[in-house]
C-alpha cells in the first residue's frame, strides 16, 4: 500500500513538472486523482473546438411582484429602442382610513427612490402617470409581454426631466436621498378623499376603488440617447404623499407602494426594427452570422445559444480527462453610454429548449472559480471543465447552453461579443487535457 501511494505521488510530481515546462499558464489539475500510477500519461492542449453560437430573441421574462420597477426608454445604436413601463397598486397606510368631513386634496406627489439606472442619464425624458382601468392579476400579468388598460383620457400627472439618480433632492424643507418626485393633479385626490368610507376600510376594498397607477415613458427619439431608471418600490419609502384639509384640520396622508402591492413591468423592443441589420438577421434565423458578432440584452431581449456539436468526435478515439476547459468571450463594442454588464450567466438548455432550472455542474464547484465577471481585459471567462467531461463520457446532456444577462427583469443592460470567427479575439473554448493510454 505504501509503495502504491509513493508511486502515485511520483506520477503527480512528474506531471506537475511537465506542466510547468510545457505551459506558460497554470493548469487546473482536475482529474489527476482518477489516474492510476501505472497509466501512461500524455498532456495536450486544443483551442480549435468548433462552436455553434448565435443570438435568439427572448419570448418574455417574469416581472411580476419584483423588488424593482424599471421606467424609461433607450435608443441604442445597435439594439434599437427599448421602453420600460411599470404598473402597480398603492395601499392605504392605515386600515380603515377616514379623511374627515368635506375633505379636499390640496396636492399630491408620487415619490420613488432611485436604486440605479442604465443608459444616458444626461438626456431628457418624459414620464406619464395614468390610473389603471383593470385589476392586476398574477395569472395574467406575470410576464414582461403582458399589457393592461389605463385611462389615457384622465392622466394623473407627467414630468419632463433630466434624471439625477445619484443626486440628493430637497423637499419639505430637508435634504433627502435621490428620489423621482412627480406632482399629481386633482384627479388623484378627488377620486379618493370623496370616496365612501367602506371603500377605505381595507386595502382589498381600496384596490377595487383605485386599481393602481401606470408609469409610461415616452419612447426615446435620438439614437444613443435615453435611459431606463430603476426604483426600489419595496423599500418602504415608495409612496404617494397627499396633502389635504377637511372641515377642522390640515394633514398629510401617505399611500404606500410595498411588497403587498401587485405590480409588473412591460418591456417593449419594437421587434428590433431600429437595430443593426446583422442583429435583425440573426434573430430572424440566420445563425451563421454568429460567426461575426453575438448579441445579449436584458429586459426580455436577446440571449445567445451555443453548442459544441463535434466535441465527441475529437475525443472518440482516445480516453481523455479534461484538466481545464475555459470559454473566453470578448466585448466587441465598449460603450460609455451603454456599459458592459459586470457579470453574465450561462445555463444549460432543457430538453424542451428552455433555460434549465438546474445549474451547470461547474457552477457548484468549490475547487475553482466558475467565472462570468467582466475583466479589465474586456473579456468574460467561464470554467466548463466538468461540463465538457460529462459530454465526452455521456454522463451529461448535450442540449447546449444559453448565455444571458442575469437579473434582467430588474436592470437594464446589453452586450455585443465577438463571434466564433471574428478576426480579433473570437469566441473560443480552450481545453487542457490528459490522454490516458490503457494497458
Q: Is residue 175 very low, low, confident or very high in pLDDT (cuts 50, 70, 90)?
A: confident
Give the per-residue pLDDT at 36. 45
**Is there a single domain that holds both residue 199 and residue 243?**
yes
DSSP 52-97: EEEEEE----B-TT-SEEEEEEEEETTTEEEEEEEEE--B-SSSS-
Among 239, 255, 272, the domain boundary falls at 272
Long-range contacts of 8-14 (CB under 8 A, 24+ apart): 8/36, 8/37, 10/37, 11/35, 11/37, 11/41
Q: C-alpha cell of 431?
A: 481545453
Q: C-alpha cell of 213?
A: 397607477
**Is there a single domain that holds both residue 235 and residue 381?**
no
Residue 38 has pLDDT above 90, yes or no: no
Which of 266-290 are b and which e, b meaning 16 or more Cβ less than 10 Å from the residue's Cβ? bbbbeebebbbebbbebbeeeeebb
Give the per-residue pLDDT at 2. 44
| Residue 4 in domain | no
Q: C-alpha cell of 99?
A: 379623511
Give the per-residue pLDDT at 42. 56
Determine the Cα–Cα distance for residues 109 and 104; give it in Å rounded to an integer: 15
Q: C-alpha cell of 134?
A: 383593470
Among 216, 237, 272, the domain boundary falls at 272
pLDDT tens, 42-62?
Answer: 578 899 999 999 999 998 999
Give the per-residue pLDDT at 84. 98
Sign of the alpha-carbon dihedral angle for 86, 89, 94, 99: positive
Give the per-residue pLDDT at 127. 98
| Residue 27 in domain | yes
| Residue 296 in domain | yes
**Mean pLDDT to the nearest integer, 87-93:** 98
Give the per-residue pLDDT at 34. 38
Residue 122 has pLDDT above 90, yes or no: yes
Helices (H), 210-284: 277-283
**Is there a single domain that holds both residue 221 and residue 182?**
yes
Q: C-alpha cell of 357?
A: 432550472
**Mean pLDDT to the nearest integer, 271-297:** 97
**Is there a single domain that holds both residue 216 and residue 320?**
no
| Residue 6 in domain | no
**Is there a single domain that holds both residue 174 and residue 147?**
yes
Determine the Cα–Cα distance for residues 66 and 238; give it in Å rounded to an integer: 14
**Is there a single domain that holds both residue 212 and residue 318?**
no
Contact 405, 298 (CB under 8 A): yes
Give the per-residue pLDDT at 29. 43
> Which of 22-31, 159-168, 206-215, 380-389 is the least confident region?
22-31
Number of C-beta neighbours around residue 9 at 10 A: 11
Sign of the alpha-carbon dihedral angle for 88, 92, 95, 97: negative
**Is there a single domain that holds both residue 135 and residue 161?**
yes
Residue 41 has pLDDT above 70, yes or no: no
**Is there a single domain that holds both residue 301 and residue 248?**
no
Long-range contacts of 169-177 (CB under 8 A, 24+ apart): 171/109, 177/113, 177/114
| Residue 294 in domain | yes
Contact 386, 292 (CB under 8 A): no
Domain that holds residue 104: 68-272
267, 332, 320, 345: which is closest to 438 by C-alpha?
Answer: 320
Domain count, the chain: 2
Q: C-alpha cell of 62?
A: 417574469
Q: In what order do the strands lie in the sheet with 319-330?
A: 40-46, 428-437, 319-330, 379-383
pLDDT tens, 385-421?
Answer: 999 999 999 998 899 999 999 999 999 999 999 999 9
**Is there a single domain that holds both residue 225 and residue 310?**
no
Tell me the longest C-alpha to C-alpha distance in the chain: 99
Give the per-residue pLDDT at 1. 43
Determine the Cα–Cα distance for residues 394 and 398; give it in Å rounded to an integer: 8
**Is there a single domain that holds both residue 33 and residue 74?**
no
| Residue 12 in domain | no
Q: Is 135 helix (H, G, I), strand (E, B) or coil?
A: coil
Contact 83, 76 (CB under 8 A): no
Determine the Cα–Cα distance for residues 3 and 221; give it in Å rounded to an integer: 76
Residue 341 has pLDDT above 60, yes or no: yes
Determine the Cα–Cα distance for residues 281 and 286; give it in Å rounded to an integer: 6
Which of 347-358 are b and which e, b meaning 16 or more Cβ less than 10 Å from the residue's Cβ? bbbeeeeebbee
**Is there a single domain that holds both residue 265 and residue 280?**
no
Among 217, 237, 272, the domain boundary falls at 272
Helices (H), 302-409: 311-315, 385-393
**Is there a single domain that holds both residue 183 and residue 125?**
yes
In terms of pLDDT, which residue wins out, 314 or 197?
A: 197
Determine the Cα–Cα distance for residues 234 and 217; give it in Å rounded to an integer: 21
Amino acid at each position: 500500500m505504501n509503495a502504491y501511494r509513493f508511486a502515485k505521488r511520483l506520477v503527480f510530481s512528474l506531471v506537475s513538472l511537465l506542466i510547468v515546462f510545457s505551459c506558460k499558464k497554470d493548469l487546473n489539475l482536475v482529474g489527476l486523482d482518477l489516474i492510476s500510477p501505472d497509466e501512461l500519461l500524455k498532456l495536450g492542449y486544443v483551442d480549435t473546438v468548433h462552436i455553434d453560437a448565435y443570438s435568439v430573441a427572448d419570448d418574455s421574462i417574469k416581472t411580476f411582484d419584483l423588488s424593482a420597477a424599471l421606467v424609461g426608454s433607450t435608443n441604442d445604436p445597435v439594439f434599437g429602442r427599448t421602453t420600460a413601463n411599470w404598473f402597480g397598486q398603492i395601499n392605504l397606510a392605515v386600515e380603515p382610513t377616514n379623511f374627515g368631513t368635506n375633505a379636499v386634496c390640496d396636492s399630491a406627489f408620487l415619490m420613488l427612490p432611485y436604486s440605479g439606472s442604465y443608459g444616458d442619464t444626461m438626456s431628457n425624458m418624459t414620464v406619464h402617470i395614468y390610473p389603471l382601468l383593470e385589476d392586476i392579476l398574477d395569472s395574467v400579468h406575470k410576464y414582461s409581454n403582458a399589457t393592461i388598460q389605463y385611462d389615457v383620457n384622465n392622466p394623473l400627472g407627467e414630468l419632463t426631466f433630466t434624471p439625477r439618480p445619484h443626486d440628493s433632492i430637497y423637499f419639505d424643507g430637508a435634504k433627502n436621498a435621490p428620489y423621482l418626485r412627480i406632482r399629481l393633479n386633482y384627479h388623484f385626490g378627488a377620486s379618493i378623499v370623496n370616496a365612501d368610507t367602506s371603500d377605505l376600510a381595507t386595502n382589498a376594498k381600496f384596490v377595487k376603488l383605485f386599481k393602481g397607477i401606470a408609469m409610461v415613458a415616452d419612447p426615446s427619439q435620438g439614437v444613443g440617447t435615453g435611459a431606463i431608471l430603476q426604483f426600489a418600490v419595496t423599500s418602504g419609502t415608495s409612496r404617494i404623499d397627499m396633502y389635504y384639509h377637511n372641515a377642522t384640520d390640515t394633514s398629510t396622508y401617505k399611500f404606500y407602494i410595498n411588497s403587498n402591492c401587485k405590480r409588473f413591468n412591460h418591456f417593449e423592443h419594437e421587434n428590433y426594427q431600429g437595430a443593426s441589420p446583422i442583429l435583425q438577421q440573426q434573430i430572424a434565423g440566420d445563425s451563421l452570422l454568429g460567426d461575426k458578432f453575438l448579441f445579449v440584452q436584458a429586459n426580455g431581449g436577446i440571449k445567445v445559444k451555443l453548442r459544441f456539436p463535434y466535441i465527441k468526435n475529437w475525443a472518440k478515439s482516445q480516453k481523455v480527462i479534461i484538466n481545464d476547459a475555459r470559454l473566453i468571450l470578448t466585448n466587441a463594442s465598449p460603450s460609455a453610454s451603454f456599459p458592459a454588464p459586470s457579470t453574465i450567466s450561462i445555463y444549460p438548455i432543457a430538453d424542451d429548449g428552455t433555460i434549465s432550472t438546474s445549474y451547470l455542474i461547474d457552477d457548484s464547484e468549490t475547487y475553482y472559480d466558475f467565472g462570468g465577471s467582466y475583466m479589465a481585459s474586456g473579456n468574460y471567462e467561464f470554467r466548463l471543465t466538468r461540463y465538457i467531461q460529462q459530454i465526452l463520457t455521456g454522463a451529461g446532456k448535450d442540449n447546449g447552453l444559453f448565455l444571458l444577462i442575469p437579473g434582467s427583469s430588474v436592470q437594464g443592460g446589453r452586450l455585443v461579443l465577438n463571434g466564433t470567427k471574428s478576426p480579433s479575439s473570437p469566441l473560443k473554448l480552450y481545453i487542457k487535457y490528459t490522454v490516458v493510454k490503457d494497458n
